[in-house]
Amino acid sequence: MEKRILGLDPGFAILGFGAIACQSSLGRSPAQVDVLDFGVIQTPAHTEVGDRLNIIYNDLHGLLEHVQPDLVAIEKLFFYRMGNTILVAQARGIVMLVLAQHKLPFVEFTPAQVKQALTGYGNADKHEVQEAVMRELNLDKIPKPDDAADALAIALSAWFQQ
């Protein structure tokens, strides 16, 4: 049975997404995971906050219709710079609203939980996580941009948790 998982790396300027299709293993055959799509939703700088949130709202609706996920995995808020916190929290609120409108279940992971799930080490660096994404999804190269690779890592974390 196929399960579609959409990973989201919330952001205000760039929201990363990564969608995977997972086949449960039957008997001795290993589970199979395939990439459906990945990329980013971008909002233009120097645009009003409300307009940028509206872009996230509309683009996320379109993405959900395109991917039709069974589960959404979201990275929990974690910040290095306090100045960006409120804008990202507002974008994340839009994400939560759209998920509720689509009646989609979601799970949340901290960055350390994602690193632990993919590398076995909660303090792994970004490149180690990206290499794990590439390896787990049998990709020829690390997905770009980084926000999309992060979203795929979040989606994989949800699959590993199943």
Which residues are the active-site residues? 9, 75, 147
2-9 and 14-23 as β-strands: parallel, antiparallel, unpaired?
Answer: antiparallel
Q: Contact at 8 Å (CB) between 20 and 36?
A: yes
Q: How far apart are CA 12 and CA 120, in angstroms?
A: 29
Q: Which of 153, 158, 157 is nearest to 17 (CA)?
A: 153
Q: Give all strands of the β-sheet with 106-109 in edge-to-edge order.
A: 32-42, 14-23, 2-9, 71-75, 106-109
